[in-house]
Amino acid sequence: MKTVNIGIIGVGTIGKGVYDAVISNGPLIEKRAGVSLKVKGVCDSAAAALKDISRGKCDIITGSYDDLLNDNDIDVIVELIGGIEPAKSIILGAIRKGKHVVTANKALLSEHWKEIFSAASAKGVSVNFEASVGGAIPVIRTLRDSFVANRIETIYGILNGTTNFILTEMSEKGCSFADALGTAQAKGFAESDPTLDISGADSAHKLAILSVLGFGADVTAKDVYTEGIELVSSQDIRNAARWGYSVKLLAIAKNTADGIELRVHPTLIPVSHLLSGVRGADNAIFIKGDLVGESLLFGKGAGSRPTASSVMGDIIEIARNMNSSGSPDQPACDPVFAPGGRIKKMEDIKISYYLRFSVIDKPGVLAGISSVLAKNNISIASVSQDERNEGGPVPVIILTHKALEGDMRKAIMEADKLEHVSDSTVAIRMEQ
């Protein structure tokens, strides 16, 4: 049995978790998977990150990643530093050296997957990336292997634990966005600068990767329409509940006859939907295929141990292939365009909407709003105005039938200019 040597670059919480897993679970892995793993070297630019690495169990402890890339005995480079550079240079450098790569780098893969996988294919090495989406949830392997015979029609995902925790807190405790964010930060679910999470950018990176695998689409994160949760209020969450909906930050990809929809935004979904009950910092991914039907993958979407579990799965898969002398198990990521061969523009997508107008409580206000909606080809499904404040501001809630996004944007701009509309209109898209 050949021992597969690993070089870990980035020994933060996940990298240290991978190192510990190889050391502590090595005998179990060897017994179950039939592979022998050794951490030959670790690298981190922060000396403090290396202080708990035992020199008796690791040959190279360094602050320079070149020391690992240039070591001919290292078979697999595990890149866990994140970001674009130097991660991109590290991965491409490892590939040029004929080393396999395992990474959790969603930002890099979502933008530069084509360059990376083309280089790997030319060199005949693997790039495994299960931990880039969904933490411990095996969604990459599911799309790549288990569902490979399916035409994937839809992917809905709660792909960010921070935003799901915040929206859960707002729903269950009735607190404000600011208070829920503070709780998330106090519990370690949100960074001191939470912008990447709450803006929806993190979910967009992950959705791009899933769309490459699920649809064979030539897309990057820049193709994903993205809105965050900053403007969702506890009032909107209460209103949604009254109508039988919950509010989630959904990453949505649909493979339609006239193109691919790619969008991340707050979304009303029925409380009966499989994703509605996903609480706290958990992640879940709903996939619909022509053969498999509807499936839900659920689990921990982040954290050192869950993510390390996925990284270890990728390492072991490569080690098995090396020991069996098989060809690298390289995902098929060459772009094969979906029907229509294009990404649908957001303004061309038809969606139902939740609208909250802030209006002065006077006769004829609702008629004015209805007229604007009708003028822009928007049909009303339900209306609610429970509060009364004669002469003062009150909320009017309208649920619409499906309408073009472009028409809705025009209608909201026009409605917000009406004399008795006192504040900007809140619009949240709906999915069934």
195: burial class by Cβ within 10 Å (0-12, 13-18, 19+)? Answer: exposed
Residues contacting 274, CB < 8 A, separation 6+: 284, 286, 294, 296
CA distances from 174 to 51, 166, 308, 373 (A): 44, 11, 34, 31
Q: In what order do the strands lie in the sheet with 36-43?
A: 60-62, 36-43, 3-9, 76-79, 100-103, 127-128
**Listed residue (279, 14, 31) closest to 130, CA to CA:** 14
Distance (Å, whole) CA 411 – CA 421: 13
* Run of H or E residues at 281: none
Rg (CA), the chain: 24
* Run of H or E residues at 270: strand 259-270
Strands 127-128 and 100-103: parallel
> Which residues have a catalytic role annotated?
206
